[in-house]
Copies of this chain bind each other. A is one copy, B any other.
Amino acid sequence: MAEKGVTPRGEDYSKWYTDVVQKTELADYSPVKGCMVIRPYGYSLWENIQAALDRRFKETGHVNAYFPLLIPMSFLKREAEHVEGFAPELAVVTHGGGKELDEPLVVRPTSETIIGHMYSEWVKSYRDLPILINQWGNVVRWEMRTRLFLRTTEFLWQEGHTAHATREEAEEETQRMLGVYADFAINEAAIPVVQGRKSDREKFAGAVASYTIEAMMGNGWALQSGTSHFLGQNFARVFDIKFLNQKNEFAYAWTTSWGLSTRMVGAIIMAHGDDQGLMLPPRLAPTQVVVVPIWRKDAERGVVLALAEQVTATLGAAGVRVKLDSRDEFNAGYKFNDWEMRGVPLRIEIGPRDVEQNAVVFARRDILGKEGKTFGVPVAGIADAVRDMLVTIQAGMLARATEFRDANTHTVASYDEFRQVLEGPGGFIRVHWAGTSEDEDRIKEETKATVRCYPFERPEGEGVCFYTGQRTDRIAIFARAY
């Protein structure tokens, strides 16, 4: 129950985030270091994210499967960069069934290796390709500093793993799935992500190239929200995913992998939340509409509740995710605050005067106060009116997040200016960039900002690197990041 609201963002953004997660009952800390419990409200949001992604995966020809949680340690060691990247984060099972194991098993941090092994058994001929498999599951990465949803020792995600006969097909797949993530983020989560390529410093351990969707959070920081990797033949060579091509010659397959996790819940919280709390995009919100009946005298209770129940039933039958808040122990003002904190996109208020007019009041979560209210919405046709309003709210949230992103994206001409932006307003810094990985390291050390991506869209053309002074057509987005 919402006894008190959340800490204002301006006071302590980090505390605001934790308050939102805990007070709205999205998740809770667990007694296991770095692991969280995803509570029903948070899990329901995750289920909606899953459904929206899974539909897109299937529409693009993918199928789901399931591979073992435990992976022999030796598998990870086969790809040199891969094990170097993941070794420090491994959870290791050394005992099973009361005995010490001959070979330790790691709890999967990601599944390229075990899946690569299976693909080598399934792929014999070009006819067996492509393999387009996705897996929904849990992974474990031992993290030192954790944060609910954003970085937890165990997290839920999906990992797609595909194998192709040609380099071109695999590269196309990598881009296709990045596009699926971007489409999901923009059109379901209302987050205007930037698509681009990761710098070598930031790419996936074992990949040839990594691509990302980067989202801007309410404090101007970036959040990497989904990644798609072109793995070349790196994993195919070490796991021997070999096939007879149409010329009857042996060739190694080309593979990709792509993943999106419960981190996306953190992205949604921080892209849209305000000082009232959570603000959920209608397409993903577990509850899209809450109906709050309002009465003062006992005599009013019956008629108000009757209409509230009728409206709730009508909306439920129309496929709207609706809840009636008929709790007697709380007054209307308390309920308004409570549902606003929980981010329900649309509130329907019904009082005695509304009953007389056979109408209701709409109150938008994204525009608080009188400005966001529509009075006298007729009960006849309520389902259509609600659907239209949810579409309007979804579009409004995307528009606002886009404006915010653009207003907080800066260009700079020098490293001095770069530092001033980071110390001042913050946000994304979009620059011409000709630096090296070592330059990136130095900038990170000095400013904590990293290259988030080399964006695909770069209307700027050629220009001068703010750091090296060299001419280049490469654009980079720098930012502080979670």
> How far, in angstroms, from A404 to B235 measured CA to CA in the complex?
50
Selected from B38, B91, B97, the residue in CB contact (under 8 A) with A70 is B91
Interface residue? A105 (CB, 8 A)? yes
Q: Residue-by-residue, is A35-67 near B (CB-CB < 8 Å gives 1, otherwise 0)?
A: 111111011101100000000000000011111
> How far, in angstroms, from A35 to B68 measured CA to CA in the complex?
6
Interface residue? A95 (CB, 8 A)? yes
Interface residue? A94 (CB, 8 A)? yes
Contacts A32-B114, A97-B142, A138-B69 given; indicate if A63 touches B92 (C-beta within 8 A).
no
> How far, in angstroms, from A46 to B64 measured CA to CA in the complex?
10
* Cβ-defined contact, A92 with B94, below 8 A: yes
- Residues of chain B contacted by A91 (CB below 8 angstroms): 70, 93, 95-97, 105
* Cβ-defined contact, A37 with B64, below 8 A: no
* Cβ-defined contact, B88 with A98, below 8 A: yes
Selected from B28, B71, B97, the residue in CB contact (under 8 A) with A118 is B28
* Cβ-defined contact, A117 with B63, below 8 A: no
Contacts A32-B114, A91-B70, A107-B107 given; indicate if A39 touches B64 (C-beta within 8 A).
no
A interface, how many residues as a size bin? 35 or more
* Cβ-defined contact, B140 with A138, below 8 A: no
**What is the distance, in angstroms, from A468's C-beta to the closest C-beta of chain B?**
36
* Cβ-defined contact, A90 with B94, below 8 A: no
* Chain A residues numbered 70-101 whose CB sits less than 8 Å from any CB in chain B: 70-72, 75, 87-98
Contacts A67-B37, A69-B138, A137-B138 given; indicate if A98 touches B93 (C-beta within 8 A).
no
**What is the distance, in angstroms, from A444's C-beta to the closest C-beta of chain B?**
22
Interface residue? A144 (CB, 8 A)? yes
Selected from B32, B88, B89, the residue in CB contact (under 8 A) with A71 is B32
> How far, in angstroms, from A35 to B71 measured CA to CA in the complex?
10
* Cβ-defined contact, A40 with B133, below 8 A: yes
Interface residue? A156 (CB, 8 A)? yes
* Chain A residues numbered 401-419 whose CB sits less than 8 Å from any CB in chain B: none
> How far, in angstroms, from A44 to B63 measured CA to CA in the complex?
8
Selected from B28, B65, B140, B153, the residue in CB contact (under 8 A) with A39 is B65
* Cβ-defined contact, B96 with A32, below 8 A: no
- Residues of chain B contacted by A333 (CB below 8 angstroms): none
Interface residue? A300 (CB, 8 A)? no
Interface residue? A30 (CB, 8 A)? yes
> How far, in angstroms, from A28 to B114 measured CA to CA in the complex?
13
* Chain A residues numbered 1-50 whose CB sits less than 8 Å from any CB in chain B: 28, 30-32, 35-40, 42-44, 46-47
Q: Residue-by-residue, is A316-351 near B (CB-CB < 8 Å gives 1, otherwise 0)?
A: 000000000000000000000000000000000000
> How far, in angstroms, from A431 to B14 measured CA to CA in the complex?
65
* Chain A residues numbered 93-141 whose CB sits less than 8 Å from any CB in chain B: 93-98, 104-105, 107, 114, 117-118, 121-122, 133, 137-138, 140
- Residues of chain B contacted by A440 (CB below 8 angstroms): none
Selected from B40, B88, B156, the residue in CB contact (under 8 A) with A97 is B88
Interface residue? A183 (CB, 8 A)? no
* Chain A residues numbered 376-427 whose CB sits less than 8 Å from any CB in chain B: none
> Which residue of chain B has the shortest Cβ distance to A32 in the bound complex?
B68
Selected from B39, B66, B69, the residue in CB contact (under 8 A) with A38 is B66
* Chain A residues numbered 125-170 whose CB sits less than 8 Å from any CB in chain B: 133, 137-138, 140, 142-144, 153-154, 156
Extra 4 A-B pairs, beta carbons < 8 Å, given A30-B118, A44-B64: A40-B64, A43-B66, A69-B138, A91-B97
Task: Enumerate the 4 nearest inter-chain pairs by beta-carbon distance, A residue then B residue, closest first.
Answer: A97-B142, A40-B63, A35-B68, A38-B66
A interface with B by C-beta (< 8 Å) = 28, 30-32, 35-40, 42-44, 46-47, 63-72, 75, 87-98, 104-105, 107, 114, 117-118, 121-122, 133, 137-138, 140, 142-144, 153-154, 156
Please name 25 pairs of A and B residues whose Cβ atoms are closer than 8 Å in the assembled complex, sorted by A.
A28-B118, A30-B68, A32-B71, A35-B70, A37-B67, A38-B66, A40-B64, A40-B65, A43-B66, A44-B63, A44-B64, A47-B64, A69-B107, A70-B154, A88-B98, A89-B97, A91-B95, A92-B96, A93-B107, A96-B142, A96-B153, A97-B142, A97-B143, A97-B144, A107-B107
